[in-house]
């Protein structure tokens, strides 16, 4: 486990110790390539030409990497069932071209349109193009244009950082240098919710990334932590101890009205995550004696226990397709596990060798960002639930944990 509060649950436990007084499917016409991971569609980029200028070269490199990282394609020069053709060129401060995607078996044009960007941002144009290709060919959202927010600990200081889905463009979002917990995305990619001790107390904030303006969302006596925005953008779920014990509450952002969801006088709740329809919450509670996952309707009186295996289960994230990922302590280490409500089955996605924690779904319902801690160092990794090998995302010095993947 990471020593710097790298999960919401350990945030609650650590605060007690500190004395705060708190208790997709493959298309039928695809040529399928079976490798070590998932079944992939053969795709050729041979017909997509780029001029010799640096922005155009960067565009091609990033586009190729994005398509490979998506997990859906095997890039090949021959025998492809999907052909990408066109051109990309730099002229002045603009990066322009054309892109056409064709199913070579049926002859159907899946995507055709112009490429428009700037020479200063060829990566962003490549990301948008990759996502358009994934959507056109596979019918699922791409992830190349998305972002990840995380906690970074460098030289004894903690702050929030952002990066692209491929780990590039690492940049700092806060400059508090104080303990911060549980970052999550607010509306779109313009806001971040998180808990910070920068004023000496664990309060919940929302920060506007464009202007840097910070708004306090919850500053009640005691713990204010784990704020997450509802799917409709109108409410937050948050852990508060203002009434004596850490319980779950929902706050209406317009009216300010706070409603209590759980009432457990001899236990603590943490790490809420909304169901896709915004009617339920999955969360962590130690009411059974150890941290386990529970699901409760907002207006329900009782919670349903979701996990029974593992000594501890924590950090749930409810995905857009209904599956829930979480971290489970098994065999002395933490593993990433997944619950499928349709099959009513739990499965383990990682296999020892380190502590795997803090999972967060990508919008494609295929990839998961998480923390891997080994040798007292924490890095971000991407997992593929369809079988491709884990990919390390963080390369900079420091420890990186508690990632949250943007929905767009």
Asked whether the beta carbons of 395 and 376 are under 8 A apart, the reply is no
Give Cα 281 to chain centroid, integer Å. 18
Please state the domain extents for the chain.
Answer: 8-23+146-405, 38-138
Q: What integer best gives the mean pLDDT of the chain?
A: 90
Would the pLDDT of 33 be above 60? no
End-to-end Cα separation, the chain, in angstroms: 30
Would the pLDDT of 10 be above 80? no
The residue whose two tokens read 């704020």 is 227
- What is the C-alpha radius of gyration for the chain, rounded to an integer number of angstroms? 22
Would the pLDDT of 20 be above 70? no
Q: What is the pLDDT of residue 212?
A: 85
- Cα separation of 208 and 189, whole Å? 9
Q: What is the pLDDT of residue 147?
A: 97
Helix (H, G, I), strand (E, B) or coil at 128: helix
Q: What is the pLDDT of residue 37?
A: 62
Q: What is the CATH code of the structural domain delimited by 8-23+146-405?
A: 2.120.10.30
Q: From 219, 195, 193, select the one nearest 206 (Cα to Cα).
A: 193
Q: Outline where 29-121 has alpha helix (H).
A: 54-69
Give the helix/strand (H/E) hosting 333.
strand 333-340
Percentage of residues of the chain with pLDDT beyond 90: 81
Q: What is the pLDDT of residue 394?
A: 87
Hey, what's the torsion of the CAs at 238, 240, 243, 248, to 10 degrees? 40
Give the helix/strand (H/E) hosting 14.
helix 8-17
C-alpha distance from residue 23 to each of 180, 204, 388 (Å): 20, 18, 41
- Cα separation of 181 and 194, whole Å? 6
Q: What is the pLDDT of residue 226?
A: 95
Q: How confident is the model at residue 26 (pLDDT cuts 50, 70, 90)?
A: very low
CB atoms within 10 A of CB 320: 14
Same fold, 8-23+146-405 and 38-138: no
Asked whether the beta carbons of 262 and 269 are under 8 A apart, the reply is yes
Cα angle 196, 334, 283; round to 5:
55
Q: Look up the CATH architecture of domain 38-138.
A: 3-Layer(aba) Sandwich (3.40)
Phi, psi of 122 (to 5 degrees): -70, -25
Asked whether the beta carbons of 4 and 158 are under 8 A apart, the reply is yes
Parallel/antiparallel/unpaired status of strands 39-50 and 82-91: parallel
Tokens (6 digits) for 308: 């029974």
Would the pLDDT of 288 be above 90? yes
Total-model pTM: 0.90
């Amino acid at each position: 486990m990471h020593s710097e509060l790298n999960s919401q649950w350990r945030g609650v436990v650590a605060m007690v110790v500190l004395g705060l007084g708190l208790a997709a499917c493959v298309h039928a016409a695809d040529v399928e390539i079976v490798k070590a991971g998932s079944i992939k569609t053969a795709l050729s980029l041979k017909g997509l030409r780029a001029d010799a200028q640096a922005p155009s070269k960067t565009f091609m490199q990033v586009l190729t990497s994005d398509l490979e990282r998506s997990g859906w394609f095997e890039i090949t020069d021959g025998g492809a069932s999907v052909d990408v053709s066109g051109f990309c060129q730099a002229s002045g401060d603009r990066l322009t071209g054309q892109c056409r995607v064709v199913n070579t078996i049926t002859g159907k044009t899946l995507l055709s349109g112009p490429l428009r960007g700037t020479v200063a941002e060829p990566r962003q144009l490549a990301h948008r193009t990759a996502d358009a290709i994934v959507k056109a060919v596979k019918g699922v959202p791409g992830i190349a244009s998305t972002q990840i927010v995380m906690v970074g600990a460098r030289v004894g200081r903690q702050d929030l950082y952002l990066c692209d889905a491929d780990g590039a463009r690492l940049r700092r979002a806060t400059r508090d240098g104080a303990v911060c917990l549980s970052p999550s995305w607010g509306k779109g990619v313009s806001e971040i919710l998180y808990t910070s001790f920068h004023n000496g107390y664990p309060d919940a904030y929302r920060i506007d990334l464009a202007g840097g303006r910070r708004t306090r969302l919850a500053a009640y006596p005691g713990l204010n932590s784990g704020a997450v925005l509802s799917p409709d953008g109108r409410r937050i779920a948050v852990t508060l101890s203002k009434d004596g014990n850490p319980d779950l509450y929902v706050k209406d952002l317009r009216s300010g009205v706070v409603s209590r969801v759980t009432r457990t006088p001899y236990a603590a709740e943490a790490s809420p995550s909304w169901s896709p329809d915004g009617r339920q919450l999955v969360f962590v509670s130690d009411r059974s004696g150890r941290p386990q996952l529970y699901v409760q309707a907002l207006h329900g009186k009782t919670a349903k226990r979701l996990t029974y295996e593992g000594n501890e289960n924590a950090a749930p994230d409810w995905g857009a397709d209904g599956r829930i990922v979480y971290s489970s302590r098994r065999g002395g280490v933490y593993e990433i596990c997944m619950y499928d409500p349709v099959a009513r089955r739990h499965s383990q996605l990682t296999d020892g060798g380190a502590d795997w924690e803090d999972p967060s779904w990508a919008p494609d319902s295929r990839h998961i960002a998480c923390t891997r801690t080994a040798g007292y160092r924490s890095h971000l990794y991407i997992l593929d639930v369809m079988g491709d090998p884990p990919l390390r995302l963080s390369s900079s010095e420091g420890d990186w944990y508690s990632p949250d993947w943007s929905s767009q």
